[in-house]
Amino acid sequence: MASFQQRVAGVLQLQPATFEEIEHDTSAISQAAIVVGAAAIARGLGLFPYLGLWAVRFFFTTIVFAFIGWVIGSAVLWAVGTKVMPGKNTQADIQEMMRLTGFAQAPMILSIFRIIPFLGWLITIVGSIWSLVCLVVAVRQGLDYDDTVKAIIVCVIAWVAMIVVMLFVGLIVGGATMGYGRFY
C-alpha cells in the first residue's frame, strides 16, 4: 500500500493504478479530506493580498464550502455515474467517489501561488485544469468506465447540477448571515 505522499504523487501523475488503490482503500477517506482541506486553505490564502480584511471571512467560507462541495459533488457524480449513465462494469458507492474526488483536488494546492502578481493567476489556472483532468480520471476509474468520454460527460452533467445546488446553498447561507460580522 502506498503512503499518503505516494498517493498524492500518483494522482498528480494521473496514474490509474493509484486511483484504483484509493478507490478500494476504505481508510483513505481521511487522507482525501486532508487533500480537500489543503486545497481549500491554499485557495483561501492565495486571495489574501487581493481581499484585504474580507480575506479572513472569505478564507473560512472557502474551507466550509470546499467540504460541502466535496460531499455534494461526490454524491452527484456517484448518482449520475451509477443511475443515469452506468457502464457495463460500474459498481461504486459514494464513499469511493469521495475518496477519489478528494484526491483529485490535489493540484488545486497550486492556488497558494495566486499571491504572486501576474504569474500567480496563470499557476492557479494550470492547477484548476490539472485538477479537472484528475477528476475525469477519478470518475473513469471509480465508475469502472472503459471510455474517458463517458467520464467527461458525467463530470459535465454533475458540474451543472453542482452549480445549481451551490447557488441554492449560497443563497440560503448568504441570506441567513446578511448583515452580520462586518469588518468595517
Give me the sign of the Cα torsion angle 170, 71, 63, 11.
Answer: negative
Indicate the burial class of 33 (C-beta count within 10 angstroms; 0-12, 13-18, 19 or more): middle
pLDDT at position 176? 54
Q: Which of 169, 134, 139 is nearest to 12 (CA)?
A: 134
Please state, in angstroms and rounded to a whole number, the distance separating the CA atoms of residues 15 and 30. 20
Report pTM: 0.85
The one-character DSSP state at 97 is H
The distance from CA 164 to its chain's CA centroid, rounded to whole angstroms, is: 16
Cell of 139: 470518475
Match 497550486 to its residue by C-alpha cell.
Answer: 110
C-alpha atoms less than 13 angstroms from C-alpha of 132 in its C-beta half-sphere: 12
Parts of the chain with a pLDDT under 70: 174-184
- The Cα 152–Cα 8 span in angstroms is 22
pLDDT value, residue 65: 87
